[in-house]
Structure 1
Amino acid sequence: MSSGSAIRGSRIGSSPMRPDERSEPAPRREVTYFCSAGHQAEVRFAADVAAPETWDCPRCGQPAGLDQQNPPGRLRAEPYKSHLAYVKERRSDADAEAILAEALAKVRQRRGE
């Protein structure tokens, strides 16, 4: 048994089964962007909108430009830093030793040593 409130044969955001005869799609134009990895991305914009100078390449995520001969350069990727790396940037070795000694003293005090 199925519930009576179910909508069958469609999903949220789907378009009508056939285009409406009374409406026409908005005029569009296709712009091609080129990234430094050699990928091409074709993006559709409304005909009356100016295309941006750069667009993120959908394949590699690098910036892509309108000029095929001169695509924008690759973004500089920052290496992953762990929590310890950030702590080492803020604290010196002497600070670390003092904090460790303080923590060990608290642990020893709790244990009764």
Structure 2
Amino acid sequence: MVGGNAIRGTRVGAGPTGESERGETAPRRRISYWCANRHESRPSFAIDAEIPEEWDCPRCGLPAGRDEQNPPAAPRTEPYKTHLAYVKERRSEADGEAILAEALERLRQRRQI
């Protein structure tokens, strides 16, 4: 034997190898899922497991469905909004002017004291 390493390919503390020592694996089936980018992923499920309608594509992260011709659409991502954008959704321009005038009046009164 060249190199003389009898335990090549194993690590210290590794358990027994092979199915005979670990028991039989559960019967499995592979299901194909396709994403909008036409990536196919084939996760395996136990025969008696409930099969999900959608699966996340491991390549691009988009949702994948079981119908190759009609994969699920990519989720719509909302653009980042600033605090000011959220405030403008809740308040009108007149409300903003009134709040600003009230805050300025309070500041002026504090300075006079």
* TM-score after normalising by structure 1: 0.72
Output the CA distance in 1 between the equivalents of 2:22 and 2:61. Answer: 39
Higher mean alpha-carbon deviation, 69-78 vs 92-101, is at: 69-78
Gapped runs of 5+ residues in structure 1? 1-8, 11-15
Distance 1:93 1:27, change over 3 A: same
Question: Structure 1 counterpart of 2:68, which letter?
Answer: Q
What stretches of structure 2 of length at least 5 have no aligned partner? 1-11
Q: Pick which of 17-26 and 98-107 moved more.
A: 17-26
Amino acid at match of 2:15: M
Aligned twin of 2:15: 17
Report matched runs for 1:31-46 at 5 Å: 31-46=31-46
- CA drift at 1:89: 0.8
Partner Cα separation in structure 2 for residue 30 and residue 17 of structure 1:
27
Q: Distance in 2 between matches of 1:56 and 1:107?
A: 54
CA drift at 1:17: 2.3
Where is the helix percentage greater, Structure 1 or Structure 2?
Answer: 2
CA radius of gyration, larger in: 2
Q: CA deviation at 1:91?
A: 0.3
Q: What is the aligned partner in structure 1 of residue 52 from structure 2?
A: 52
SS at 1:55's partner residue? strand
Q: CA RMSD in A?
A: 2.3
> For the structure 1 residues 22 and 52, does the alpha-carbon distance in structure 2 shift closer, same or farther, using more than 3 Å as the test?
closer
TM-score by length of 2: 0.72
Partner of 2:92: 92
Distance in 2 separating the partners of 1:24 and 1:44: 16
1:27 and 2:27 matched: yes
The aligned amino acid for 2:27 is P
Which position in structure 2 is the counterpart of 1:77? 77
Q: How many matched pairs? A: 100
